[in-house]
A and B are shown apart, each in its own frame.
Chain A
Amino acid sequence: MSDRFSRRDLLHTAARGTVLATLGGGAGFLVKKAHGQVVWQVDSARCLNSRLGEVGVAACNLCTTECVVALSAVRAVNDHARCGRCNICPAYFNITSAVDERGLPSEKLCPRDAITRRPIGKADPEDPANNFYEYLIDEEKCDGCGKCVMQCKEPLGLGSIVLRIRYDRCVDCNRCSISRACPKDAFVRVPAGQALP
């Protein structure tokens, strides 16, 4: 009786050893090719450019509608060093709307009113309205629709407004629904070190 038990124990120990060795081997193989971290990234330079006639609509909007979290993990940010600081910014104003009494377009472009601006630098004594402006995007309001990004694209804009992922919202889905919907392969997963700044 005790003999049978001990044989069974031996078999169990052997099987356990085999399984542990397999698991260890698999883990070791994977660790060798592992990256510290991979992140999703959206490269708005690669996304649809309606200014170059790629779509009939203003913006493809999929970054807003496809994300699995309630407020999309994609949002627009303004890279101030590249910003033209224009008075009539096509990303801030709806430049097709009627001109008001100040000589500016009467409507704003952002559907969620997430962009604010303030005049900066030396005021022009001849024309006080002719200022440089700093454009700030409210992170909490922006839902990543990309309308302003489209307007800021070449050839009119300098491309200072870009789409970026807010990693505090992104849940890093294996099957990112935005990346699957993206028509231009602009949404990719890269090792964190290689991500856009």
Chain B
Amino acid sequence: MIAGRAAKPAESRLRAGLPAPRRAVLALILLGAALTAQTIPYQRPVDEAPQEKTIGGGYRTPAVQKTLPRSSWLQVLDVVVLAAAMGVSSWLVLKRRNRRALVALAAGSVAYFGFYREGCVCPIGSIQNVAVALTDPRASIPIVVIATFFLPLVMAVFFGRAFCGGVCALGALQELVLVKPLQVPRRLDRALGWLKYVYLALALVFVLRPAATRDFVICRFDPFVGFFRRTGAPHMLLIGGAFLAAGMFIGRPYCRYLCPYGGLLAWCARLAPRGVTITPDKELDCGLCTGACPYGAIEKMRAVRRNCLYCARCYAACPRDGELAHARAQLVKLS
């Protein structure tokens, strides 16, 4: 506006002495100036700011404080740690059959993916990003998120739910608090197991809405991320606490009944050629492992790939575990 007012007298002064075409050009320029002046009502020019030579005294302008985003090689490191942890998890469970080492791995995962990375990015939440990126042409997705989503699924196709065992921070945390496992009645367990598919469908419904109304339900109602961040909405901390309290007796309630990614992993794990093997020979049918499995994943003396969460409790309960771990006994392929 100020620029516009200043321009008017100049225009009238110039108009008298100029030929018509030049006048038209000038009018156009002035019109342009007036238009821009209207969109920017007032601006104090930044070059009014005193600079080094105005200030004098050998003053040097300090750099602007900056915190850069996590460097890309550290993000790649997250993916490498994820892949390596899944490799270690399957090696410990399938080859070494060692629960103690698996608990150590779980503690490490809680520390790294949980407390250090503060629960982000996790494959469970990445379902939403992948769904959005697949359907919304304008949505962008980082490569790290793509890897985080697909790696555990590919792993599950070959080795079962190695991710769930000691790698997933949410799972590992629940694994660590499960001190006195109770068996959930099989029917109830099956019925509740469907909840995770309902939750998955709901999450997709909420996230596949137009960008303005999109809601990331899985992240919003993540029960444990508040602990990892040591802050959060009181009701979510309360729900997380309730999950952990229940998880002391009921094996991994979130993983078995709510985790939508667990649902995807279960479908992939059905196809796995490798997995936890119990009942190494026909004459030893003691069933101690069935009683030791807190997740109802051992049916008719066989570990069910889609439900097995790679906790290795069955080995710990097995009287012949030591022999198997050191390959003194031969496993017989049964299923």
CB contacts under 8 Å to B, within A47-72, are 68-70
**Smallest Cβ-Cβ distance to B128: which chain A residue:** A174
- The complex places the Cα of A2 from the Cα of B162 at a distance, in Å, of 29
What 1/0 flags go to B67-93 for Cβ under 8 Å of A?
111101001000000000000000000
Contact call A122/B56, Cβ cutoff below 8 A: yes
- Pairwise interchain contact A172-B55, C-beta atoms closer than 8 A: no
Binds B, one of A96-104, A105-113, A132-140, A143-151: A132-140
Q: Quick check: is A83 within 8 A (CB to CB) of the other chain?
A: yes
- Inter-chain contacts of A39 with B (CB < 8 A): 69
Shortest Cβ gap from B232 to chain A (Å): 7
Instruction: Choose among A78, A154, A159, A175 the residue that contacts B64 (Cβ–Cβ < 8 A).
Output: A78
A23 on the B face (CB < 8 A): yes
Interface string of A81-102 (1 = CB under 8 A from B): 1111100000000000000000
Also in contact, A20 and B140, with CB within 8 A (given A31-B146, A80-B64, A175-B219): no
Q: Does B235 interact with chain A (Cβ within 8 Å)?
A: no
Known contacts A30-B130, A82-B46, A158-B48; is A15 also within 8 Å of B271 by CB? yes
Which residues of the other chain, B, contact A78 by a CB distance below 8 angstroms? 64-65
Please name all residues of chain A whose beta carbon is closer than 8 Å to the beta carbon of B48 when the two chains form the complex.
84, 158
Chain B residues contacting A33 (CB-CB under 8 Å) are 133, 137, 140-141
A169 to B229, CA, bound (A): 10
- Using known A-B contacts A12-B273, A36-B142, A37-B69, determine if residue A159 contacts B231 with beta carbons closer than 8 Å: no
Inter-chain CA distance A139–B128, complex, in Å, is 33
Residue B331 is within 8 A (CB to CB) of chain A in the complex: no
Q: Which of B119, B144, B146 is the most central at the interface, judged by chain A CB atoms within 10 Å of its CB? A: B146
B69 lies within 8 A of A167 (CB): yes
Question: With A27-B150, A36-B142 as given contacts, are A81 and B69 in contact (CB-CB < 8 Å)?
Answer: no
Q: Does A10 contact B (CB under 8 A)?
A: no
Nearest to B144 among chain A residues (CB) is A37
Chain B 28-69 interface 0/1 with A at a Cβ cutoff of 8 Å (1 = within): 000000000000001110101111001111010110111111
**In the complex, A160 has a CB within 8 A of chain B:** yes
Instruction: For residue B69, give the distance in angstroms from its CB to the closest CB of chain A.
Output: 4
Tell whether, in the assembled complex, residue B49 and residue A160 are in contact, meaning their CB atoms are under 8 Å apart.
Answer: yes
Q: For the complex, give the distance between the alpha carbons of A54 and B156 in Å.
A: 54
Chain A interface (Cβ within 8 Å of chain B)?
12, 15-16, 19-20, 23, 26-27, 29-31, 33-39, 68-70, 77-85, 120-123, 132, 134, 136-137, 139, 154-155, 157-160, 164-169, 171-175, 191-192, 195, 197
Across chains A and B, which 8 residue pairs bring their CB atoms closest together, nearest first? A121-B55, A174-B216, A166-B67, A175-B216, A167-B69, A122-B56, A121-B57, A35-B140
Residues of B within 8 A of A (CB): 42-44, 46, 48-51, 54-57, 59, 61-62, 64-70, 72, 75, 118-121, 125, 128-130, 133-134, 137, 140-144, 146, 150, 153-154, 157, 215-216, 219-220, 229-232, 268, 271, 273
Can you give 20 contacting A-B residue pairs, CB < 8 Å? A12-B271, A23-B150, A23-B157, A33-B133, A70-B229, A78-B65, A81-B51, A82-B46, A120-B57, A121-B54, A139-B67, A154-B42, A155-B44, A165-B67, A166-B67, A171-B118, A171-B229, A172-B121, A173-B219, A175-B215
